[in-house]
Each structure stands twice: as C-alpha cells, then as structure tokens.
Structure 1
Amino acid sequence: MPKVVKSSAREMILKVKEFCEAEQKNQGVLIPLNNVRKRVAAITGVSEKTITRITKEGITAASTSKKIVTPGKSRPHPKKFDLDGFDLCAIRQKIHSFYVVHKELPTLAKLRAALREDINFQGSITTLHRILNRIGFKYKRCQSRRKLLMERHDITAWRARYLDKIRINRTVEKRPVVYLDETSIHNTYHTKSCWQSEEEPGMFVSESLGSCWIIAHAGTKDGFINGALLMFKSQSKSSDYHDDMNSANFLKWVTEKLIPNLPERSLVVMDNAPYHCTQLNKAPSMSNIKSSMQEWLRQKGIYFEDTWRKAVLFELIKQNKGPPTFAVDELLTAHGHEVLRLPPYHCDLNPVEKIWSLVK
C-alpha cells in the first residue's frame, strides 16, 4: 500500500514543480547553485530561517537516531476515559450522597478523592469537570429556597391574614401605613453589568468593596418620614449587614428616631428579621438545661414531676407558652401604633425594598 502524502507535503511538491518549470522556461539557473540555503528556500517556499532551523533539527535527529517530529506533536494530551453506564451512575450517586447523606458541598477535589476510592477513578479535575458536564451537571448559582417554601400551608395562611389586614385597614381602620426596612451600601457601589463590545470596553469597576454603611429608614405613600433616617458605618468584617443592625441598635432607632416622627395611630409593617422579633416572653427550648425548663413551668403554675425527661417537659412548654410577645410591638403599642409583620419570604410586599433598588 503506497504511503499517504499529507496536504502540507503535497503543497511542497507543487512549489518544487513550479520552481523547476520556471528554471526550464528561463533556460538557466534562477539562483546560483552555490547558495544552497537560499535556493532551497526558493524551491520550497519557506523562509531561510526555517531552512536553517530544520537543518539543525535534522543534524540532531541523525546523531540521536530519532525522527524529526512535528512541533507540538509530543505535547501531552489529556487522557480520555471511557466510562460505562455503571461508573456514570456511581458518579451521580456520589454527588447525591454528598448533598443528602454527608450534608456537604461536593467540590471537584472532594468528589475526585471519593471516586478514586469507589471506582478507582484516575482522571484529573479537568477531566472530571468535563464528565460532569456530559452527564448533565452544571456549575451555576445555587437555587433559592423561596420557591419551595412560599407555598407552605402556614405561609399561605399568613399571607392571607396579612392581605386581609391591609384590606380592612384601607376600608375601615384607615391607619397610616408605614413600611420600614434596612439595607447596606458600599462606598464603591456600582452597577454590575453594562453594554460592552470589542471596541467599547464599557465601565471599569473597583475590585475593593470599600467601607460599608448600614441604612435604616421608614416611609409612607408620601415618601420617607422626615427625621427617621439612621445611617452608620459598619464595624463588622462580615458581608452580612444584619451583624451590625442588632436588636439593641434597632430598638434604639425605633425609640429615638422612628416613634417621635411617626404619624398618629400608624400601622407599622416590618419583616421577620431576628432583631425585629426579640421576645419578652421567650420560652425555653430543647437546648436549655432541664432546671430552666422546670423553673419556667413552676412560674406558670403547671404541674410536672421531677423525674420527667426534657422531651416531656418541652411538650408541656409548647402546649402552654402561648403567642410570643415582641419588644418592638410592646414599644409601638404603648405609643398608640400597631405592628403588622410580612409573611416569610414576601419581601416583594414591602415597597421600601423596591426603593432601595432604585436608590442603589
């Protein structure tokens, strides 16, 4: 079977043929025979530097009894792993076990180490990345729990009660509705996206977030309430502004800035942030010691026996603890106002959230 001549060699043959035909037509030598390098460059159509380089490679190959290879051909290539259906199923099950059994995020490094033990997987992290893409896994932003929790029956009922209260207030009570909320902003705050092209790079942004400022405010249908603004510089290194806006700061703001400027008989709407829900009558939980549970039951005049276990005492506590009493509710009620809490995961019902978006 004759040897296959590759395309690059075919082009070289045509160039040599054209050079020879040109010499025959001119009935002589186009380039002097004593200038070998220049003559070979003209015949093959490559530069003289390339002729020199290939000549050196030929000398080296001859001295080491090796063949001249194509540049880059000896470059290491990633190994291909032909995994069967059993192995692919094992990879899926391993990812599932990380989430469900171990309650752990399956990074590529952890997953590769686990697969080495289970199915003797010898591929690299890059290879594993390609395999995960092939079987349908994509590395992307985590999904929100909101779409799973919004339609829980208790939250559906909470939303119905909230909307009913707003309807009654509009038609009967007619209290001024005041919405309050907190947010944070960095002094290098910037838009996250812009229109760009190869010629127009758009806006360049700073990688440093800079100082963080905590903002709390309240507003009605007529706008923000004058004198109710709270703004202070964050002292926490955490990325969550809730670490700065704690119960003490929140109650101080309500007492000193919000209440003095509220319209009379306001209906104050707020979400369920932990510092909005500081309980005055907090009952013991299962994390409390047994003696504190017994003391709480004793103060309530509820019968129990000293030999009863914590689980039994906790059932008694749940049956008798009653509705929670929040510090901010008591504070606002004492000044003639009423508190209405948003249903969980329903920040879209708070207009201030949309105002923060516009301001930023």
Structure 2
Amino acid sequence: MVRLTRAQQQERTRAAVLAAAREEFAERGYADAKVDRIAERAELTRGAVYSNFPGKRALYLAVLVDSIGPAASEEGPSFEEGPPSEEGPPPSGVAEALGAFARVWLERLPLTGDTAAGGKLQSRSLAGVFDDEPGRAALGRLARLEALLLALALEPRAPSRARRVRLAELVLTLLGGAAHLAETAPGFGDPFDVARACRHLAGLDLADTWDPPHLPFVTPARDVRDAWEPPAELPDELTGHRTRLDADGVIAVLGTGRLEAAEEAVRAARPEDSVTIAVVTGDPAELGRLVRLRIGDLAGSLRRVFGPDPRPGLHLVLDEHAAVASAAGIPDADDATEAAVRVQAGEIVARAHGRGAAHAAAVTRPALPRTDQ
C-alpha cells in the first residue's frame, strides 16, 4: 500500500472538493449550492471543505479559476502549456483585432440547451456572487484594468498609436451585455453579430486622451540606493509563464483598491523599461482569486488573438504573500496600497508611496551608474 505524504493527501482532498463543488454549482447554481452537499458529494467532512476554502464564495471562485486552464491555475502558469495562439497570425489593424478578440471571448457563452446553473458556470458568471461593497468595488477596478490591458494590445495596431482605453471599455461593455443576455434570455442575439459590432466600434472617434489632472501635483519619488533582491520567479498572469523581476524598470505594488494606477506606470515609463504590476490584497482567498480569475480569463483570450506576449515589457503578478512588496521595502501592503520603485542595475534607485506613486517612480530619471573612486 502506497502511503501518501501530508501534502499529497491535502492535494487529493482539495481536488475532490473542487470536483464535487463543480458538480454542485453546475446543478444548483451559486445561490442554491450548499457546502454540506459539496462535502457529501466528495465523501468528506464539512471541516475538510473549510480547511481548504474559507467559504462558498472562495470555493466558487476556485472552481472558475480551475476552469480557465493551467495558465490561471492557483499553482501558477505552467511551462507545459501549449501554443498560446491558435488563431493564425496576429491581426494587423484595430478593427480586425477587435473582431478576433470578440469571437474568442464569446466562445464562453452558454448554448440554448444548457441549464441556467450550468450556463452560468460555463460563462464564468459572477452575477449574485459579489453583493458586498468591497467585492463590487474590486470588480469595478478590475474592469478598468481589463480595459487597459485590451487597449495596450490594440494601440500598436492603430495608425496614430493613440490611447484606446475608452474603446476597450466600450467593447467589454458590449461583450458583458451579451453574456448577461445569454444567461437571462437564452437564444437571444447572434454572437456573430456581436463580433461584427465590436469590429465596427473601431471606427468611432471617442476623443480618448490621457491627462489625469492630479499627476502634475504628485510628490516626486525619493532618490535612494538600496539593494534589490527580487523574489524567485513568479507567475506572470499576462504571458502564462513565470517571470523574473531583475530587469531595469518600474515595479508598482498596487492593492485591489488602486488597480487603476497601473496605467500611470505604463504611460510614464520609457520604451526600454520593464513595467511590473504586483497586485496585493488582504483577502487572497476571495479578492486574490477574483483577480486571478478575471485577469487570467482576459489574458488567455489576448494570447489567442495577439500571440504569447500581448504587451511586451509589461508583467502582472499576483503578490499573494507580499514577496514583491517586501523585497521593495513596502511593509503592511493591503488593498489600499499604492507604492512603486524604480530598479536599475540591481539597485532600487527611487521610491514613491501614495497617490500617483506609480507615475512618480516611472518619470524619475535614473542616475548614472556609480563608478569606483
């Protein structure tokens, strides 16, 4: 008889809980699912379920994260993942890119014959899951981050390379509405029409500009000379692989309540900079899983359309154990954190904290490397 190690037994228990939860949610939906029934399906005690997941919402989010695939698994992206793009060469224009992105995104929609509960699980619906203010606020800020990531993939394909965040927001609004109708009114609407509509949205003039009024008044970053000892390779939610954090550039540590500041780092950074967004949260079981779900879901679609690295030079890591924050000298990181450092030649050469920190660190001009006297 093979005796399992403690870690192996825990992993087996967790897998059994996830499989049972998937069946329960697919059959009864999130609202009517019961933890007791999940435990019974898994042939485990209720305590065994709660030892792995603090509540039903965390368990539902874990099931959805697991459904995306290995690139978004809670153990991190897998090096064994297959080719990221199966859609042919990346699109050359914004309209073509939006049409391709919409077609990939719409694959999640439930079919007419699916049950209501199964359809919501298929579409990775969060309807009725976050009815508290912290969860709703996090969803709103995540939506802004999703629009930024889609826009950054689109902008190099625009003749003027102008900002396309408002266009991305409009496209995601249309796709979100299509998903809601597919859940509440099965069979209504044609996904091919929705994809064509997204393609045509590229022709709208939305007068999109980037000029936040507070940025000229942001406190400048402090010049420092501190050693930079980054943590080991971390899963990059955008590329589906692990990433090192030793390149010169900007590292912004943002709580789930400050995700919109990611654009401040991206717009202010120099072309040669590596930009890393490290997301921190005081609630990894729920808000952390929510970030992994939404960003992993979007990034998977982006990779299929734009290739393995939708926005070269940009990395996004979920800093669940505050390893990046600690290495950057940012104590007590939580959902309200906004801090950033600039790294050059293995040193932290600038620090900023508070509103506008990502911008302040990004616009800091690195000093010339020190030379021995």
Of structures 1 and 2, the larger Rg is shown by 1
Q: Relative contact order (C-alpha < 8 Å, sep 6+): which is higher?
A: 2
TM-score, normalization: structure 1?
A: 0.23
TM-score, normalization: structure 2?
A: 0.23
